[in-house]
């Protein structure tokens, strides 16, 4: 697909690319939130009685994640060949087909196929839009702009829960068909934007299209900025120099996997996948898909109150996620993950022990149920200000240019794969372990602190080309104690390395 001949420049162009990422994330978040309300709909359960079985219910929910996992792997394989815009366009088309199959479903297999196809499309878009934006934005804005997408994800997650609550009194098929059909609107909001935005300049340089890349860099710099402007040519040379250095160090795949390449591409891929693994095993989707069910069956609330609490919780989550935009570049990625791990762990532990106490002493069931509910809501505050956005930003930043699509795809695939695992086994886990199920998430969250502290370098306030230099100069897998790897400010040595790259070209 070719972009429109009309020209948008500077801040407006970045705003349009940010909008592509944000609206794609809206669709992603809506898909995550909408099925929780569908599953508790009486008409849905009457039409598809198979979902009364916990395992079938798990499959109907988690197959979306399985489709998204396949979509992410497809982006891993074909993303660099297709380019950023084409991959996003294909993802939108699959989203539209999958959404249509779902809201028109009359049989459970059709619903599952629709969720698989919808998931496949979301896997493509959720992999590529953060990469597209991160490759176009300036380093001092990158965290906030990619974070906007993660926050928009939460916005639509909240909207899906409020729609579910608003339709509580409607007992017919409209109660679940309308929420599933509503998501089609996102296709008609995002698709036209793709005709007005150019390809990523870094992808164009990676493909050897130097003239096109220079033109896009000039457009991103602002209206009337010529292609021979000193700032534009300096950025062009820095990116080109990083690509040339990377190609000089190109090593066989087995050497990369065995950590024998200078730029540590496989280590960086593991780090980006790790952030997404931590996001899923913090328990967010265990609550996102099953909080109304948990509050009804384990806490003892009626269905209306459970839907209301889920909607309120998602709204708290929304406010917290947007709050993270204020601090994500100010405090850096490491500090946000460290604080989030500890606070989420405490929330799970307190909620779990409260549920246990309500089982031991029935007279305290209402009080302890309220405590557990409060902890689940507070959990969303801490998740929203940490792991809601950081993994998406981190995986779009830490990988080298040649591995950025593959790294982001592998990270997103990790998110979807373990989202599938968590969602598939949450209902069965709650039924069998009761209060102890969330105790497991608490222990896992606490384990994230030493992992992040020991192994995760800071990526904020670095250019994307700084990342190669950072890993070349600091080959140890342990980052604590190294100022270059952990400080929030951009180290002076990185600035010197950039000057050297520019001089080389």
The pair of structure tokens assigned to 380 is 């969303």
* pLDDT, tens digit, 9 for 90 and up, residues 6-24: 578 888 999 999 999 999 9
| Residue 250 burial (C-beta neighbours within 10 Å; 0-12, 13-18, 19+) | exposed
pLDDT at 463: 84
* pLDDT < 70 positions in the chain: 1-6, 249-250, 253, 289, 505
Contacting residues for 197 by C-beta, under 8 A, at least 6 apart: 3, 8, 13, 16, 17, 20, 85
The pLDDT, as a whole number, for residue 505 is 61
Interacting residues of 408 by C-beta distance below 8 A, sequence separation 6+? 75, 127, 128, 130, 131, 272, 395, 396, 399
What's the confidence (pLDDT) of residue 4?
47
What pLDDT, on the 0 to 100 scale, is given for residue 430?
80
Global pTM value? 0.77
| Residue 333 burial by Cβ neighbours in a 10 Å radius (0-12, 13-18, 19+) | buried
Supply the DSSP string of 180-214, one letter for each residue.
Answer: HHHTTHHHHHHGGGGGSSPPPHHHHHHTT-HHHHH
Cite the DSSP H helix spans in 191-282: 201-206, 210-221, 230-248, 253-257, 265-280
pLDDT digits (tens, 9 = 90+) for 118-149: 999 999 998 899 889 988 888 777 778 888 88
Task: Give me the pLDDT at residue 322, please.
Answer: 84
Compute CA distances 348 → 161, 382, 383, whole Å.
22, 11, 12
| CA–CA dist 498, 491 (Å, integer) | 11
State pLDDT tens for residues 59-113: 888 889 889 999 998 988 888 889 999 999 999 999 999 999 999 999 999 999 9
- Per-state percent for the chain, helix, strand, coil, to nearest 5: 80, 0, 20
């Amino acid at each position: 697909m070719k972009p429109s001949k009309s020209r948008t420049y500077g801040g407006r162009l970045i705003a349009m690319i940010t909008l592509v990422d944000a609206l794609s994330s809206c669709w992603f978040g809506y898909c995550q939130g909408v099925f929780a309300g569908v599953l508790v709909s009486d008409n849905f359960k009457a039409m598809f009685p198979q979902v009364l079985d916990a395992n079938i219910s798990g499959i109907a929910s988690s197959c979306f994640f399985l489709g998204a996992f396949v979509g992410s792997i497809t982006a891993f394989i074909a993303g660099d060949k297709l380019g950023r815009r084409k991959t996003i366009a294909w993802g939108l088309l699959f989203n539209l087909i999958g959404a249509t199959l779902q809201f028109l479903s009359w049989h459970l297999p059709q619903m599952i196929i629709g969720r698989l196809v919808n998931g496949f499309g979301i896997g493509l878009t959720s992999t590529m839009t953060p990469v597209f934006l991160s490759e176009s934005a300036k380093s001092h804005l990158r965290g906030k702009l990619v974070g906007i997408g993660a926050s928009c994800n939460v916005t639509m997650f909240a909207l899906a829960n409020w729609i579910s609550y608003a339709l509580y009194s409607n007992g017919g098929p409209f109660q679940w068909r309308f929420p599933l059909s509503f998501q089609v609107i996102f296709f008609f909001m995002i698709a036209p934007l793709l005709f007005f935005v150019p390809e990523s300049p870094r992808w164009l340089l990676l493909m050897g299209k130097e003239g096109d890349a220079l033109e896009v860099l000039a457009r991103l710099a602002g209206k009337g900025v010529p292609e021979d402007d000193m700032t534009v040519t300096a950025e062009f040379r820095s990116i080109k120099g990083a690509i040339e250095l990377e190609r000089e160090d190109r090593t066989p795949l087995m050497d990369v996997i065995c950590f024998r390449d200078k730029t540590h591409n496989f280590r960086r891929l593991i780090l980006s996948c790790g952030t997404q693994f931590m996001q899923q095993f913090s328990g967010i989707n265990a609550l996102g898909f099953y909080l109304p069910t948990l509050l009804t069956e384990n806490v003892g609330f009626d269905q209306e109150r459970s839907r209301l609490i889920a909607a309120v919780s998602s709204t708290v989550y929304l406010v917290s996620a947007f709050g993270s935009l204020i601090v994500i570049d100010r405090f850096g990625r490491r500090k946000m993950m460290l604080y989030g791990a500890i606070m989420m762990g405490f929330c799970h532990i307190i909620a779990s022990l409260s549920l246990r106490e309500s089982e031991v002493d029935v007279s305290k069931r209402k009080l302890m149920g309220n405590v557990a509910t409060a902890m689940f809501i507070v959990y969303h505050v801490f998740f929203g200000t940490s792991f809601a956005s950081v993994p998406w930003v981190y995986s779009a930043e830490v990988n080298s240019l040649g591995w950025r699509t593959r790294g982001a795809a592998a990270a997103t695939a990790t998110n979807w794969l373990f989202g599938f695992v968590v969602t598939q086994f949450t209902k069965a886990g709650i039924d069998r372990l009761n209060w102890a199920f969330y105790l497991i998430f608490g222990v896992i969250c606490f384990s994230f602190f030493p992992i992040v502290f020991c192994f995760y370098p800071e990526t904020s306030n670095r250019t994307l080309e700084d990342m190669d230099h950072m890993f070349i100069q600091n080959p140890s897998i342990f980052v604590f104690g190294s100022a270059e790897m952990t400080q929030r400010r951009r180290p002076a040595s990185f600035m010197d390395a950039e000057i050297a790259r520019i001089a080389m070209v």
